[in-house]
Chain A
Amino acid sequence: MKLECLRVIENHQLALDTYEMRLQGEVLPILSQPGQFIHLKIGQVSEFMLRRPVSIADVDREEKSITIIYKVVGHGTNWLSTRIIGDEIDGLGPLGNGFSLQQHKGESILLVGGGVGVPPLYYAAKELSKHNHVTAVLGFQTSEAIFYESEFSQIAKTWITTDDGSYGYSGLVTELIASLGSFTTYYACGPNGMLKSVQSQLSDIKGYLSLEERMGCGIGACLACVCQTRCNKGYIKICKDGPVVNADEVIL
């Protein structure tokens, strides 16, 4: 974990309201693991008091850069989208517990992503595909919102779904998954509703969910981003104990 001034080396629109940014630093990118996130300070004055947690989509250790993909949904993410090459952004990270990928060898692994829940799965797919057979099911609202289809296709058997049927499979990711055969493990990241459906549908195999919640400090001190666990274990802190959790441990 490091607080570092990161330099914008790329920032462009990737899909509908969706941007891809590459940030260069000294230490933070090198430490980053799949599934972890970075907490970005927005603006230079005190208008924006909360950082924005953004998952890490890729890491280039030689270039010392990370790639993030974010959706513009408000003033803070709009500020991010207007950064130009050479601008500096204050980043805290990498934060949280990411995916434990080393445990898998020769497995058939399913990745399920929804919208801006897709990015952390790309970094995971790159690592997993070295030793496993990876299938990716990526859901988007509409064809204009799709990103990284070709990137995923190079490393995984990739399926795209759209809610409005404008591209790929028409319908929900869970409907498509039912027709895809069997897997040993799955990793999912996306809207809460999608995670809940996947959690229930794939309860017979080992699964990991990457959770999202409105965050405060990002380091486990403020208790803003909690998630209820099974077996009366109380809450976990998504920023510190997560964002990746065992699917059978949390109640969504």
Chain B
Amino acid sequence: MNLSVNIAGLPLKNPIMPASGCFGFGKEFSKFYDLNELGAIMIKAATQEARLGNPTPRVAETSSGMLNAIGLQNPGVDQIIKEDLPFLDNYQTPIIANIAGRTKEEYVKVASQLDQQPVIKALELNISCPNVKEGGVQFGTDPTLAFELTNAVKAVTTKPLFVKLSPNVTNIADIALAVEQAGADGLSMINTLTGMKLDLSGKKPLLANQTGGLSGPAIKPIAIRMIYEVRQQTQLPIIGMGGVTSAEDVLEFLLAGANAVAVGTANFQDPYICQNIILQLPDTLSKYGYSSLKEVMFDSCVNPSISL
């Protein structure tokens, strides 16, 4: 079955990719399967300088999900270009680089550096990290700031720019429309929801950062609802994510309005999850009456026959 899809001018051989922050820079997972099998790879967020991230504990399991507060630990964009991108250049799989920063200037600087790397085929603007004190989600919860940042980054890149939206807002469509007006080529949604877990013995938050981002199957219904809402208002390509663990989940995201689907937390439970989903996708699509990925898209985006 033909699983190929084109998102914002970026051709993918299938719609499945690991989500940023859940796959490092690919090296660890390359020991399990050939990364060429993936539709794309969204690599860990890059900031201008190296960041140490938050104190530990940084993760906690919750029912059908997990909280994380890594805090954007990364070696900095120069080091990523020098140490991590050459490895990814061994693969044909398109690499989507996630960009974070404290200020608009930092985002712009990191974006322009990554824009010059041939191995990077698209950028993902992270305006939705809930685990850092400065930058991140503050740009993703205010339509005006989201517009300005997207506009500024768009000015320094010729590559497709996806903006990763935060679900921690009253109306996610407002942000989606703001970044569309600013020139975004696509949307990634959703990032994690801010949550908290208490340690009953210590009578305090379990994560050192106190709060963390909730991910995993627990948030999937929220992701589906938000993608569905945003799809009613824009034709921008959407990379859907939030609790995907199976090919059925992928179909659900596609029907809700996503054009491609990223897998996050499930990579920790099963390192082969992306490969397995890609293998199972044709049978799952057939089971529900589709003979290609394009047919699914027609049902959801172009002809919203499943409108509620």
Interface: B265 (CB within 8 A): yes
Contact present for B271 and A226 (CB under 8 Å): no
**Contacting residues, chain A, for B245 (C-beta < 8 A):** 46
**Contacting residues, chain A, for B63 (C-beta < 8 A):** 47
**Contacting residues, chain A, for B31 (C-beta < 8 A):** 1, 219
Give the shortest distance, in Å, between B1 (CB) and chain A (any CB). 26
Give the shortest distance, in Å, between A58 (CB) and chain B (any CB). 26
Interface: B216 (CB within 8 A): yes
Q: How large is the interface on A (under 10, 10 to 19, 20 to 34, 35 or more residues)?
A: 20 to 34
In the assembled complex, the Cα of A216 lies from the Cα of B268 at a distance in Å of 6
In the assembled complex, the Cα of A76 lies from the Cα of B63 at a distance in Å of 11
Contact present for B60 and A214 (CB under 8 Å): yes
Interface: B29 (CB within 8 A): yes
Closest to A73 in B: B201
Given A46-B217, A222-B268; A216-B29 close (CB under 8 Å): no
In the assembled complex, the Cα of A225 lies from the Cα of B31 at a distance in Å of 20
**Contacting residues, chain B, for A92 (C-beta < 8 A):** 271
**Contacting residues, chain A, for B32 (C-beta < 8 A):** 3
Interface stretch of the complex, out of B5-13, B66-74, B96-104: B66-74
Give the shortest distance, in Å, between A6 (CB) and chain B (any CB). 15
Contact present for B61 and A226 (CB under 8 Å): no
**A50, A218, A222: residue with the most chain B Cβ atoms closer than 10 Å:** A222
Contact present for A51 and B269 (CB under 8 Å): yes
Interface: B143 (CB within 8 A): no
In the assembled complex, the Cα of A224 lies from the Cα of B60 at a distance in Å of 10
Contact present for B28 and A223 (CB under 8 Å): no
Instruction: Pick from B24, B56, B269: contact of A49, CB below 8 A.
Output: B269
Contact present for B23 and A221 (CB under 8 Å): yes
**Contacting residues, chain B, for A221 (C-beta < 8 A):** 22-24, 28-29, 267
1/0 contact string of B58-92 vs chain A (CB within 8 Å):
11110111101010010000000000000000000
Q: How large is the interface on B (under 10, 10 to 19, 20 to 34, 35 or more residues)?
A: 35 or more
Contact present for A48 and B61 (CB under 8 Å): yes
Contact present for A225 and B29 (CB under 8 Å): no
**Contacting residues, chain B, for A124 (C-beta < 8 A):** none
Contact present for A223 and B61 (CB under 8 Å): no
Interface: B57 (CB within 8 A): yes
Contact present for A50 and B61 (CB under 8 Å): yes
Interface: A234 (CB within 8 A): yes
Contact present for A216 and B68 (CB under 8 Å): yes
In the assembled complex, the Cα of A224 lies from the Cα of B50 at a distance in Å of 17
**A1, A41, A214, A225: residue with the most chain B Cβ atoms closer than 10 Å:** A214
Interface: A235 (CB within 8 A): yes
Contact present for A216 and B73 (CB under 8 Å): no
Interface: B53 (CB within 8 A): yes
Interface: B270 (CB within 8 A): yes
Given A221-B29, A235-B73; A50-B56 close (CB under 8 Å): no
Give the shortest distance, in Å, between A101 (CB) and chain B (any CB). 25
**A90, A223, A225, A235: residue with the most chain B Cβ atoms closer than 10 Å:** A223
List the 7 closest A-B pairs by CB distance, nearest first.
A221-B24, A224-B59, A221-B28, A214-B57, A217-B268, A50-B61, A46-B217
Q: Can you give 14 A-B contacts (C-beta < 8 A)?
A: A1-B31, A3-B270, A46-B217, A49-B268, A50-B61, A213-B56, A213-B57, A214-B58, A217-B22, A219-B28, A219-B271, A222-B21, A223-B58, A234-B50
Which residues of A are interface residues toward B (Cβ below 8 A)?
Answer: 1, 3, 41, 46-51, 76, 90, 92, 213-227, 234-235, 240
Known: A223-B58, A224-B57, A226-B58. 17 other contacts (CB 8 A): A3-B272, A46-B266, A47-B63, A48-B61, A49-B64, A49-B65, A49-B266, A50-B268, A213-B57, A214-B57, A221-B23, A223-B70, A224-B56, A225-B56, A226-B73, A234-B50, A235-B53
